[in-house]
Every structure is written in C-alpha cells, then in structure tokens.
C-alpha cells in the first residue's frame, strides 16, 4: 500500500453549486467552506501530514469585484473564528502565494502563520493569490541573483513549498480536467484524481474512496 503524506486539492465547483441551489455563486463559496472544514477533519483522522488547498489563484482577480470581496471576507472570518481551534488541534497554517492583500488580511495572515508555526500534526498550505508559473519564474530569478547552480534541488529550494514534500495525490472536484496553474513542478509524479462532484457536495466518504484507490495504485515513478 502506498504511504500518503501530502494531498493537494483544487476545490472547484463552488460557483456552479451556488447558482444551482441558491441562485448565487457566493452561496457556493460559503457552502464550500463547510467542505474545507470536513476535509481538514478527515485529513487529520487519516494521519496525513500535509494538505494543500487552492483557494485563490493569480488569475482569480479577473472575477467580479463582488465575488472577490466575498471570498476574502469569508477567509477573514474563517481565520478570526477558527485559528484558535486550528492551533489547539496542533495544525500549522502556511500561506503560499503572493502576499499582497488588504492591510487587515495581511495582518491576519501573518498572525495566523506565526501563531501556528510550531504545530506538527498537520500542515495546511493555503494557496492564496497563487500561480505556479509565477512561483517558478521567481525561483529562477532567485537562483540567477544568487548565482546558484540550476538543478532540481536548487529549484525546489526556492519554491513556496520548500518545506513540504511533493503531493502524493491531487484531487480536483467539479468535473473539470485541468491543472489551472497549480503546483506544476511539484505534481510531476503525483497521482491525479478528477472528481465529478462539485466541491460543496464533496464529503469525507468521497475523500476516503479516493484515498483508498490511491493506496492501492501501483506507482512506478518511471520504472516498470
């Protein structure tokens, strides 16, 4: 059975779910947050050490301002209300992405990261204003500035995930099959599971089914 250390998730389908059930995309984001909490709980139960969640991409700024504001408000309230609980559960929160937000959110993010920095049970990498191509360009710029040799290790060192093993497993909900500029380097050998359900409908049973399938998959890493 394959060991499982790191699960990455593209949480897709909130907008469609919201429109279908409540005639509002934002209602889908609110419902999506409940799924985030369920999946965190299950990840702990499964003793998985790293969970990377794609919450906002560098391309998501192209959405209507109303939706962007709603998403960031949701995140602010989540951090204000839940960071204490995450900390008590020994969860470390790390933001991966370009940290350019409002003063209030920047402060909250720094506070949440600092508060949970030493926690060991589970590390949640929250990808916020994240873009994999930007991350890679930035790594190459650092290597060139520091006149360092270019190799796989040196590139990985300058990625935002430098303290995290590569994902064993990527899940994308929402019945769409693309990577959307997410962890392009890190996913080189990950097993990818595309899930039909929209993110707010995804639950711990669906998650466990995928984990079970993953554990029984033959991983070759280029060998036969």
Which residues are part of the catalytic machinery?
12, 60
Cβ nearer to ligand FPP, comparing 202 with 214: 202
Binding mask 105-124 for ligand FPP (x = CB under 6 A): --------------------
- Does residue 12 interact with ligand FPP by CB under 6 A? yes
CB of 199 to ligand FPP, least distance (A): 6
- Where in 55-84 is the site for ligand FPP (CB under 6 A)? 55-56, 60, 71, 74-75, 78
Query: CA-CA distance, 173 to 171, in Å (whole number)?
Result: 6
- Does residue 21 interact with ligand FPP by CB under 6 A? no
- Residue in 32, 97, 131, 167 binding ligand FPP, rule: CB under 6 A: 32
Q: How far is CA 108 from CA 105, 115, 131, 160, in A?
A: 5, 10, 21, 19
Which helix (H) or strand (E) element contains residue 93?
strand 91-96
- Residue in 14, 26, 132, 164 binding ligand FPP, rule: CB under 6 A: 14
Q: How far is CA 174 from CA 92, 113, 199, in A?
A: 27, 29, 6
Cβ nearer to ligand FPP, comparing 35 with 164: 35
Phi, psi of 140 (to 5 degrees): -65, -40
Query: CA-CA distance, 105 to 71, in Å (whole number)?
Result: 12
Residues near ligand FPP (CB under 6 A):
11-16, 29, 32-33, 36, 55-56, 60, 71, 74-75, 78, 126, 174, 199
């Amino acid at each position: 059975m394959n060991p499982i250390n790191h699960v990455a998730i593209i949480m897709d389908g909130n907008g469609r779910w919201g429109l279908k059930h409540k005639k509002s995309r934002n209602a889908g984001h609110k419902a999506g947050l409940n799924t985030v909490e369920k999946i965190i709980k299950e990840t702990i139960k499964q003793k998985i050490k790293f969970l990377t969640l794609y919450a906002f991409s560098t391309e998501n700024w192209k959405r209507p301002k109303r939706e962007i504001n709603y998403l960031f408000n949701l995140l602010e309230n989540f951090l204000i209300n839940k960071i204490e609980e995450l900390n008590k559960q020994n969860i470390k929160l790390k933001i991966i992405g370009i940290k350019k937000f409002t003063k209030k959110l920047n402060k909250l993010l720094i506070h949440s990261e600092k508060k949970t920095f030493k926690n060991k049970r589970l590390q949640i990498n929250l990808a916020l204003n994240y873009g994999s191509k930007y991350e890679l360009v930035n790594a190459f710029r650092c290597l060139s500035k520091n006149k360092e040799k270019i190799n796989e290790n040196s590139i990985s060192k300058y990625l935002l995930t430098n303290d995290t093993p590569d994902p064993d497993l990527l899940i994308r909900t929402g019945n769409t099959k693309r990577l959307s500029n997410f962890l392009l380097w890190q996913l080189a050998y990950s097993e990818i599971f595309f899930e039909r359900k929209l993110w707010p409908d995804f639950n711990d049973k669906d998650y466990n089914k995928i984990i079970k399938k993953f554990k029984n998959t033959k991983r070759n890493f280029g060998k036969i």
